């Protein structure tokens, strides 16, 4: 974000295409959220090419975005002049084509910009990676306000990343920078929807917690949690573990320690490349708060290169919650209009 090119005024709309929901916000001229709208993400998750609606996956997603934009325009009496930013999950190029989206296979490869231009004629549209949008929002208005070197990590279904380097958004040659969830941390690890094995997001996301939980359950480390799940280790879910850990169950606390170790492994690798002053952690998983942050910070301090010889890196929860991506999409649209 180049502040000299950023007219930091005027309303803007932002829409975040998530794994389960499409969430939109209207920002007023003071960056306050004036309206919110949402829809269910069509064809979410792993897409079945044999589904009769297969070819319509991306079109349906674009339709949901247009529906949310229409609702925001109605709610704010916008005549269509406010620019619209759209955050998309995956590798989005500078022309607005979602080249690859392992966690939203229905829209993978789709020309999102063209599909939206058909549905939202005469609209200023900006398409950007969702986690990059969240980084912009947290940097401008949230947990990293005032920091010039920021890494934002969203721990949800998968892992998203956004980087602010010396005050500017890092996009890379094609716009694909920040695909941090697909750094391989174990080449012999479990398969990932991206086609490789042992990606960081197989360990340090919501899905990763579920896997660590089942492993601990089979190993007999979670007797109380397994009993509460009806005696079936396979039925143990991530939220069963966080609930038990909040209640002080030692086995569940051990799983959270393991999870924190995996989160820290990726964060220390990224620190070696980026040298951030602050790491902001967002996404559904951070809602458990210190239960995750405390073991993450401990493992980070033990693993990071230079240890105590380097200044402390602040590891903090995101401040804007589930709206971060949509707010950042709106800010990005206003910046680049």
In order of 12, 92, 226, 254, 292, the CA distances from 235 in angstroms are 44, 36, 8, 19, 22
Which segment (16-24, 106-114, 178-186, 210-218) binds Zn ion by CB under 5 A? Answer: 178-186
* CB 205, min distance to Zn ion, A: 11
Q: To the nearest whole angstrom, how small is the minimum distance from the Cβ of residue 209 to Zn ion?
A: 17
Q: Shortest gap between Cβ of 189 and Zn ion (angstroms)? A: 10
Write down the least CB distance from residue 181 to Zn ion, Å.
6
Q: How far apart are CA 104 and CA 67, in angstroms?
A: 19
Q: How many CB atoms lie within 10 A of CB 44?
A: 21
Stretch that binds Zn ion, among 104-112, 116-124, 186-194, 205-213 (CB under 5 A): 186-194
Q: What angle do CA 167, 169, 173 make, to 5 degrees?
A: 135
* Contact string (CB under 5 A) for Zn ion, positions 62-91, x = contact: ------------------------------
Supply the minimum distance, in Å, between the C-beta of residue 109 and Zn ion: 17
CA distance linking residue 18 with residue 269, whole number of Å: 26
Beta bridge partners of 88: 129
Cα gap 208→195, rounded to integer Å: 17
For Zn ion, which stretch binds (CB under 5 A), given 85-93, 179-187, 219-227, 287-295?
179-187
Nearer to Zn ion (CB atom), residue 142 or residue 207: 207
Smallest distance, Å, CB 192 to Zn ion? Answer: 3
> Sign (positive/negative) of CA torsion 205, 209, 211, 212?
positive
Residue 9 CA to its chain's centroid (Å): 26
Q: How many residues bind Zn ion (CB under 5 A)?
A: 4
- Say whether residue 180 binds Zn ion (CB under 5 A): no
Stretch that binds Zn ion, among 113-121, 174-182, 204-212, 269-277 (CB under 5 A): 174-182
Min CB(237)–Zn ion separation in Å: 22
Burial of 243 (0-12, 13-18, 19+ CB in 10 A): middle
Q: Which is nearer to Zn ion, 142 or 181 (CB)?
A: 181
Whole-angstrom distance, CA of residue 271 vs CA of residue 266: 9
Site for Zn ion in 191-250 (CB under 5 A): 192, 194, 199
Residue 303 Cβ, how far from Zn ion at the closest point, in Å?
Answer: 22
Which one, 182 or 297, has the nearer CB to Zn ion?
182
Question: Alpha-carbon torsion 318, 323, 328, 334, what sign?
Answer: negative
Using CB under 5 A, which residues numbered 266 to 325 contact Zn ion?
none
Nearer to Zn ion, 155 or 245 (CB): 155
Pairing status of strand 21-27 against strand 91-92: unpaired
Pick the closer one to Zn ion by CB: 182 or 278. Answer: 182
| Piece of the chain touching Zn ion by CB under 5 A; list 60-68, 126-134, 190-198, 205-213 | 190-198
Backbone angles phi, psi at 230, to 5 degrees: 85, 20
Cβ distance to Zn ion smaller for residue 141 or 199: 199
182 binds Zn ion (CB under 5 A): yes
Q: Which residues have C-beta within 8 Å of that of residue 285, sequence separation ≥ 6?
A: 155, 156, 205, 206, 209, 292
Q: Which residues bind Zn ion (CB under 5 A)?
A: 182, 192, 194, 199
């Amino acid at each position: 974000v180049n502040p000299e090119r950023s007219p930091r005024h005027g309303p803007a709309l932002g829409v975040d295409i998530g794994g389960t929901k499409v969430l939109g916000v209207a920002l007023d001229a003071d960056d306050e959220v004036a309206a919110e709208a949402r829809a269910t993400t069509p064809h979410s998750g792993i897409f079945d090419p044999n589904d009769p609606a297969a070819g319509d996956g991306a079109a349906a997603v674009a339709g949901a975005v247009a529906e949310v934009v229409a609702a925001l325009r109605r709610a704010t009496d916008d005549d269509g002049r406010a620019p619209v930013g759209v955050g998309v999950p995956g590798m989005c190029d500078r022309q607005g084509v979602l080249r690859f989206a392992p966690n939203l296979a229905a829209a993978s490869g789709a020309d999102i910009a063209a599909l939206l231009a058909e549905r939202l004629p005469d609209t200023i549209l900006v398409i950007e990676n969702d986690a990059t949008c969240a980084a912009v929002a947290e940097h401008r208005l949230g947990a990293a306000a005032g920091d010039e070197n920021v890494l934002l990590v969203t721990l949800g279904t998968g892992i998203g990343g956004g980087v602010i380097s010396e005050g500017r958004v890092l996009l890379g040659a094609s716009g694909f920078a920040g695909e941090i969830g697909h750094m391989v941390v174990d080449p012999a690890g479990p398969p990932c929807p991206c086609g490789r094995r042992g990606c960081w997001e197989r360990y340090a996301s919501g899905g990763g917690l579920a896997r660590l939980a089942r492993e601990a359950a089979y190993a007999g480390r979670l007797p109380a949690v397994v009993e509460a799940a009806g005696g079936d280790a396979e039925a143990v879910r991530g939220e069963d573990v966080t609930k038990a850990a909040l209640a002080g169950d030692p086995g569940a606390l051990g799983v959270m320690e393991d999870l924190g170790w995996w989160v820290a492994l990726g964060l220390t690798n990224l620190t070696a490349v980026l040298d951030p002053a602050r790491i902001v952690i967002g996404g559904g998983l951070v809602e458990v708060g210190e239960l995750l942050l405390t073991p993450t910070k401990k493992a980070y301090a033990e693993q990071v290169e230079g240890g105590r010889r380097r200044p402390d890196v602040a590891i903090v929860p995101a401040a804007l919650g589930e709206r971060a991506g949509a707010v950042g999409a709106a800010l990005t649209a206003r910046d680049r209009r």
